[in-house]
Structure 1
């Protein structure tokens, strides 16, 4: 590894530590955490924070961006042409459950930043654009295939994400386990709420 590579790795590591510390403190104390607390938790000098981030708001934007990267990695899938629109959306629902349940602190961070946004709505939409675009595309294609109710794309996306996050949040609060059967039930419940209604039996 040459000197440039070593320095890049050091910079990347320190920046990641700062972002991780910020996320940890937001989960624990909300946005009241100070830059000094963030620096202490990250194990860096307070002045180092400003080497990588212009302000606390800029730092929190970095946390938003890092969260988006994690969501992209968990939810965005390159399906082959043989995968049906229904299968793609069912996979999305299952992956969403896994994403929220796998990391409790990350789920709390997602919930907090969704409910107490500190950046303008337009900017937040831009940060989460890759996820929103994939979600809308997956839902739109399933609806066009006739397997979903004729509801709004954005409405169904918000319902899936918000409903699953809230349900799993309260499961955690009650100390419950997400067994394979419970996971299957949640996915089925979510799907049944948006799935096209079957034709009435015996209807002319």
Structure 2
């Protein structure tokens, strides 16, 4: 019985699981077996392993965009908007350890060019750059290339949480708040009176 009506989604989920378990060297046959589809059927959805990896990458980008790049609340200041973005990114990376590992694999994938990765993540990246540019104009975020500032924050969060996962105890709210505060402090303009 086909429990997941969307075969394409089953294939992407299976590829994601196998990439987390085995890295990018997993075969198309193994992915088809994991998804419960014939190998030939897999090629009806993805004509190559590169296309399948792009599909997995696109799936992660869509999830990240939906959960982190939310519309700006006009009642929030630009500082609050950036702080909420940081908090949502921490939650996104922490809530699913396998997805975080998958993101690490995909971030270093030789199967995608930098240009392809940028294209896939464009809505998410553009959201962050626009948000930071407005915060810079408001004088609350330090000057500099917004793409580098955003990359710094996201990288700090991913790497910190990767190390934190070595501790099997649940993460405490104070730890997440501390990480968010460190990220904000690193990019905020600090006015001295």
Alignment partners' CA distance in 1, 2:110 and 2:61 = 14
> Which residue number corresponds to residue 24 of structure 1?
17
Q: Deviations over 1:104-152 (max 9, x none)?
A: 0001001111123421111110000000000101111111111111222
Judge conservation of contact 2:11–2:32 (CA < 8 Å) in 1.
yes
Question: Which structure 2 residues correspond to residues 125-144 of structure 1 after superposition, within 5 A?
Answer: 125-144=118-137
> Which residue number corresponds to residue 56 of structure 1?
49
1:98 alignment partner, one of 60, 82, 91? 91
Instruction: Calculate the TM-score normalised by the size of structure 1.
Output: 0.89
Verify: 1:149 aligned to 2:142, yes or no: yes
Verify: 1:81 aligned to 2:79, yes or no: no
Judge conservation of contact 2:87–2:180 (CA < 8 Å) in 1.
yes
Judge conservation of contact 2:94–2:100 (CA < 8 Å) in 1.
yes
Instruction: Calculate the TM-score normalised by the size of structure 2.
Output: 0.94
Alignment partners' CA distance in 2, 1:154 and 1:79 = 19
Moved over 3 A (4+): none
Alignment partners' CA distance in 1, 2:29 and 2:19 = 14
Q: Aligned-residue CA RMSD in angstroms?
A: 1.3
Question: Which structure 2 residues correspond to residues 32-43 of structure 1 after superposition, within 5 A?
Answer: 32-43=25-36
Q: Give the unaligned 5+ runs of structure 1.
A: 1-8
Judge conservation of contact 2:141–2:187 (CA < 8 Å) in 1.
yes
Alignment partners' CA distance in 1, 2:72 and 2:132 = 14
Higher relative CO (Cα under 8 Å, sequence separation at least 6) belongs to: 2
Q: Give the unaligned 5+ runs of structure 2.
A: none
Instruction: Give the SS at the match of 1:173.
Output: coil
Instruction: Give the SS at the match of 1:178.
Output: coil
Cα pair distance change 1:117/1:130, threshold 3 Å: farther
Alignment partners' CA distance in 1, 2:65 and 2:107 = 16
Verify: 1:14 aligned to 2:7, yes or no: yes
Judge conservation of contact 1:171–1:177 (CA < 8 Å) in 2.
no
Alignment partners' CA distance in 2, 1:100 and 1:117 = 22
